[in-house]
Amino acid sequence: MLKAPRVKSILASLAIAGTCICAAAAAEPPKDGELLRDFVHYTRIARYDLASANGQALLDRLEAPFGKAEAGKGMKLADFVKLVEASGELARFEETAVRGQRIGELESVASRLLKAYEAGKLEQARSAAEISRNISMLTGTMRQRAVARERLIGAGEYAAVQLLEALQKKSDPALQAEARQVLVDMRQQALAPLLAALGGLPPETQETVVGILAAIPYKSSLPYLYDLRASSKNAGVRAAAEKAIVQLDGAYNPGVTAASLYEALGEAYYAGLESLTSFPRESMQLLWSYNPSSGLVATNIDTRVFNEAMAMRMAEKALSLDAAANRSLSLWLAANFSREIDQPKDYSNPAYGPDRRDAMYYAVAAGPSSAQAVLGRALDRRDTPLARRAIAAIERTAGATALTGGDSARRPLLEALRYPNRRVQYEAALALAVSQPGSSFEGAERVVPILGSAIRDAGAKYAVVIAASDSARAGQERQASLADWLRGMGYTVLAPGASLADVESAVAEAPGVDLLVTDLPSGATARTLEEARQRTKLGVTPILAIVSMQGEIDLAGSRRDDMTRLLRAGADPKQMTEAVEQLVLKASGGAVSAEEAADYQARALAALRDLAVSGNAVLQVADGSAAMIAAMAQAKGPVKMKIADVLSYVGDKKAQVALMDAALAAQGDEMVDLLRITTQSAKRHGNMLEDRQVRRLLGMTRQGNDAQATAVAALIGALSLPNQDLIPLILGK
């Protein structure tokens, strides 16, 4: 029997050991499965703080870009899929993650977990080994065939290479038949790879593929089928192609050319038709090519430049068949510019290698008519960055006739003078002014005022706020808050309102609107976005719509362009500012910087001076005098002198009076320079000064240094004043 002290010692030792064990256990990090279960559990009992912590801890263990672990050191997506599916929590995980996306505290974590699982499933289904295994099961039991077909269809385009190989295995007709049926069942996902391969396949396989294309009811196959019908020397292939055309389009039309159909398909790609993009919500697409020696090859291409790549490819096919296809040429040029605009920085584009020149080279080489056609496309699509590039190409090659008219019935450059973006207006006006047109044209009266605006307003940024709340007072407070934030970003904020109708007059009077910010209930937001795009001045204005979580859901399915962005209510000022900067950059190339404004100002002044010196009768500098007078009042240094110089060519009383007022308000060398410029005005147009100015001038004869005195005397002489004004000067009284 143990003595009491001995018992106490053992119990104490056990207690200490237990504490150590508990501490060690507590120090062990939770396992992946525990984190997953806790994320699900805590979400379902509304402990969102704990759910978020567990979900984030699990995400951190994944390899980048979904997690924070370095490549090779973290959990791979395939392992994450196995974890979820082996946990017995798959259904609960998916349901919980979807629910979590609607909860503010959980939205980011839940969304990333679900995306990681879905990406892992896709990666698994698309692996070459998995596809190969599933193809081998196509000739197995009924159950195996069903499972294999489902998985291959899920893999989509990624299974096309091996399915096409199986389709050509003459030694295994059963596999050929199964592969054919899977390709048919893949529908749209089978088209791009099969169409890429069609022209290079042996005739026997071509007939088989044509039959598959005929069974997939998409007319995007028609250009390739017409092309094959016209180019193949094999009678069986031609007959199969014609039969497929009838099946897809109702009839074969001998008058239709493959070139015209390729062009139409290219236009559809350029328009961003979603049915032509296999994976519209993924960051990468597959670009297909075929070579008889290497077979069918897929190359990853960034989704942001996929449509442009395919539009260019279709245009090239059309031009190879019809070199006179001018619309195909303008499509290629426009798509190439758009590729350049949308392509991420430092991205190596597999469809446009570094050996090719920049897009402007080809646009300039194609000449002004093609560039005008590109500009027309840009205006129709309300694509501001494209319009600016097209105008730059036109300006480099076009003479005055080509700029204002030419042979085309349409005049895109003249339309650009009314385009609701001031950059486009400035650049169109500059192109026209530099050309020194010799005959009048529609819109000529707008050119010089736009150049005057470029001198005065190029650096200005105008914003409109439309906000409403449950009460009028709360709505006004929100309007004031948003207006203050925008002023902090350098915007001139027009009078705000609770609806588009409230701000209509302010918008009409402004030189332009560079940003519209709305904070409205979801129904009102949808209506306002739609109505804004129908207003001439707001047609291409970037719009930041602040919405609630429900509003974001309500608007999720609506069709929006790159000029509109939704921002969740509750974002802090920094997030709002970043959202505006990204939106404006995407929609119009960013806000006009100080350097850019100075460049517009300098170019406009140079163009106006050239017009003034030449005495151009079509573009009369006097039309921009009001803007230049206003700009001169604010300008300093050399810019002020350049504006004054241009005004000296304007035979208008207001211009000469403004020059003299500027001289009288100046001092030192600046006064002397402005007096000399006013003298030039008087020599060109005679005396148009006011009596008060003449009296001030005569009173200055005994003031200042010799340079000032001489400048005053020269101006007095140029004014041809009457003797009674000059006698006191001569007599020294």
Tell me the average pLDDT across 378-382: 94
559 has pLDDT over 80: no
Residue 22 has pLDDT above 50, yes or no: no
Q: How far apart are CA 270 and CA 425, in angstroms?
A: 25
Number of H helices, E strands in the chain: 37, 7
Question: Is the peptide bond preceding residue 5 cis, with omega within 30 degrees of 0?
Answer: no
Q: How far apart are CA 43 and CA 106, in angstroms?
A: 8
The percentage of residues in the chain with a pLDDT greater than 90, rounded to a whole number, is 72
Q: Is 440 in a helix, a strand, or coil?
A: coil
Secondary structure (3-state) at 577: helix
Whether residue 142 is predicted with pLDDT greater than 50 in this model: the reply is yes
CATH class of the domain at 462-591? alpha beta
pLDDT at res. 407: 52
For residue 13, pLDDT over 80 is answered with no
| Contact partners, residue 479, CB within 8 Å, separation at least 6 | 465, 467, 496, 497, 498
Structure confidence at residue 656 (pLDDT): 96
Least-confidence region, from 48-57, 457-466, 700-709: 700-709
Give the CA radius of gyration of the chain: 36
- Per-residue pLDDT tens for 61-94? 998 888 888 777 889 888 899 999 888 888 899 9
Determine how many CB atoms are found less than 10 A away from the CB of residue 25: 8
Question: Is the model more confident about 308 or about 555?
Answer: 308
399: which residues sit within 8 A by CB, 6+ positions away? 368, 435
Q: How confident is the model at residue 21 (pLDDT cuts 50, 70, 90)?
A: very low
> What span, in angstroms and rounded, lies between the C-alpha atoms of 327 and 334?
10
Poorest-pLDDT segment among 69-78, 104-113, 153-162, 667-676? 69-78
Residue type, 255: G
Residue 39 pLDDT > 70, yes or no? yes
**Stronger pLDDT, 452 or 562, i.e. the higher one:** 452
User: What are the φ/ψ torsions at residue 492 (nearest 5 degrees)?
Assistant: -85, 115
Which residues pair with residue 519 across a beta bridge? 467, 546
Cα separation, 222 vs 225, in Å, equals 5
Q: What is the pLDDT of residue 6?
A: 44
Task: Report which residue type is found at 197.
Answer: A
Strand (E) or helix (H) holding 131: helix 128-136
**What pLDDT was estimated at residue 731?**
61
Q: How far is CA 189 from CA 80, 196, 279, 290, in A?
A: 27, 13, 9, 17
- Cite the residue boundaries of each domain of the chain with CATH code 3.40.50.2300: 462-591
The reported pLDDT for the residue numbered 25 is: 47
The rounded distance, in Å, linking the Cα atoms of 411 and 398 is: 13
User: Residue 124's pLDDT is what?
Assistant: 87
Least confident of 8-12, 59-63, 216-220, 490-494: 8-12
Determine the pLDDT at residue 726: 64
This model's pTM is above 0.75: yes
> Once rounded to an integer, what is the mean pLDDT over residues 285-306?
95
Supply 659's token pair. Answer: 């020059």
Mean pLDDT to the nearest integer, 587-603: 90
pLDDT higher than 60, residue 132: yes
Please report the pLDDT score of residue 590 as a whole number: 84
Q: What is the mean pLDDT of residues 477-488?
A: 94
Q: Which of 7-11, 28-32, 623-627 has the highest mean pLDDT?
A: 623-627
Please say if the pLDDT value at position 7 is more than 50. no
pLDDT at 289: 96
pLDDT of 50: 93
Structure tokens at 49: 């703080």
In 45-89, which ranges are continuous DSSP H helix? Answer: 48-60, 77-86
The C-alpha torsion from 488 through 492 and 493 to 494, rounded to 10°, is 170
pLDDT digits (tens, 9 = 90+) for 652-686: 999 999 999 999 999 999 999 999 999 999 999 99
What percentage of the chain reaches a pLDDT higher than 70?
93
